Amino acid sequence: MSGRGGDTVRQRSGWLIPAAVFIVTAALSALILLYYLAPTPSSIIEEHPQPTSRTDPVALQVEKVKLTIPANYILYASARQGGQKKEVALAAKLPDLHGYSDWYGSTFADNSSDSPIVYLLIREDPLTMSEADKLKRIYLSYVADPVGKPGPFGLTQYAFRDDSGYHGEDLYVGQTAKGPVVLRCVRFGPQVTSPSCLRDMRLGHHVALTYRFKRAHLAEWQEIATGIDDLVASFTAQPKR
């Protein structure tokens, strides 16, 4: 009798341990999947743009860059509360880069191929790579011909290789007294009827500025670059006391 009881105990212990390991492993796997795949609160309740015609100044800070921005440039209501932010999204209207107004509400909502709206994003950027360095170290390694060719509007044009992550885009580089202006422009196509051009530049230590405008306005790249410089300078200038 005792022998059979001992065999029964050993048989039970033989399958209990693997079963316990399986349960623990399954539970840990479920927790890991939940951690990586479950939506975060910010993705569950995504904030939508809410432009305003108010022009009162809003004090913001991205990393160590202090900003004072009129409320009608700021796209999201939460950012108009001011304070420290990881990024600040803005919008302005060509040609004078004015902020939102009710009079031009339909223009700011327009996404046609010749829309005059420029979108800006001031954001934290740990790389802090200059525009010239990014051109040399990143973009030119993905183009078909690093020499480029004369492009429109005084720009040098490069074509990204089809096997690069930038395929479907053209690279344009313009020279100014302050250095290169590097623009990535999405190509027109059957699926892309309203393409944009994007510029990514360093604004401060660990802070970058990205702005984009419709490719139809590429001829105005110099005026846009100068206007953006002046606009951002007005945001970073500290008010007199």
Q: Residue 3: its pLDDT value, please?
A: 54
**Are residue 88 and residue 195 in the same domain, yes or no?**
yes
Q: Give residue 239's pLDDT band: very low, low, confident or very high (50, 70, 90).
A: low
**Are residue 193 and residue 224 in the same domain, yes or no?**
yes
| Distance, CA of 218 to CA of 214 (rounded, Å) | 7
User: In this prediction, what percent of the chain has a pLDDT beyond 90?
Assistant: 71
13 vs 111: which has the higher pLDDT: 111
User: In this prediction, what percent of the chain has a pLDDT beyond 70?
Assistant: 80
Structure tokens at 202: 């360093």
**Are residue 55 and residue 163 in the same domain, yes or no?**
yes
Which residues constitute the domain of residue 141? 48-236
Q: Give residue 128's pLDDT band: very low, low, confident or very high (50, 70, 90).
A: confident
Under 8 Å between Cβ of 74 and 57: no
In-domain check, residue 43: no
Q: Residue 35: its pLDDT value, please?
A: 37
Q: Give residue 191's pLDDT band: very low, low, confident or very high (50, 70, 90).
A: confident
Q: Is the pLDDT of residue 9 over 60?
A: no
In-domain check, residue 189: yes
- What is the count of structural domains for the chain? 2
**Are residue 98 and residue 176 in the same domain, yes or no?**
yes
Q: Residue 113: its pLDDT value, please?
A: 95
Name every residue whose Cβ is closer than 8 Å to that of residue 226 and which is 6 or more positions away in sequence.
none
**Are residue 90 and residue 189 in the same domain, yes or no?**
yes
DSSP character string of the chain? -HHHHHHHHHHHHHHHHHHHHHHHHHHHHHHHHHHHHSPPHHHHS-----------EEEEEETTEEEEEEGGGB--TTGGG-EEESEEEEEEETTTTB---GGGHHHHT--STT--EEEEEEEE-SS---HHHHHHHTGGGGBS-TT-EE-GGG-EEEEB-TTSTTTTEEEEEEEETTEEEEEEEEPPBTTBSS-EEEEEEEEETTEEEEEEEEGGGGGGHHHHHHHHHHHHHHHHSPPP-
Q: Residue 44: its pLDDT value, please?
A: 40
Q: Residue 189: its pLDDT value, please?
A: 85
User: Quick one: average pLDDT of 76-81?
Assistant: 95
**Are residue 219 and residue 106 in the same domain, yes or no?**
yes
1 vs 72: which has the higher pLDDT: 72
Name every residue whose Cβ is closer than 8 Å to that of residue 155 and which is 6 or more positions away in sequence.
172, 173, 174, 183, 218, 221
Q: Residue 6: its pLDDT value, please?
A: 55
**Are residue 104 and residue 184 in the same domain, yes or no?**
yes
Q: Give residue 29's pLDDT band: very low, low, confident or very high (50, 70, 90).
A: very low
Q: Residue 42: its pLDDT value, please?
A: 43
**Are residue 203 and residue 115 in the same domain, yes or no?**
yes
**Are residue 22 and residue 60 in the same domain, yes or no?**
no
Structure tokens at 69: 């921005």
In-domain check, residue 66: yes
Q: Residue 205: its pLDDT value, please?
A: 85
| Distance, CA of 127 to CA of 205 (rounded, Å) | 9
Read off the pTM: 0.79
Q: Is the pLDDT of residue 169 over 80?
A: yes
3-7, 23-27, 131-135, 191-195: least confidently modelled range: 23-27
Average pLDDT score over the chain:
85
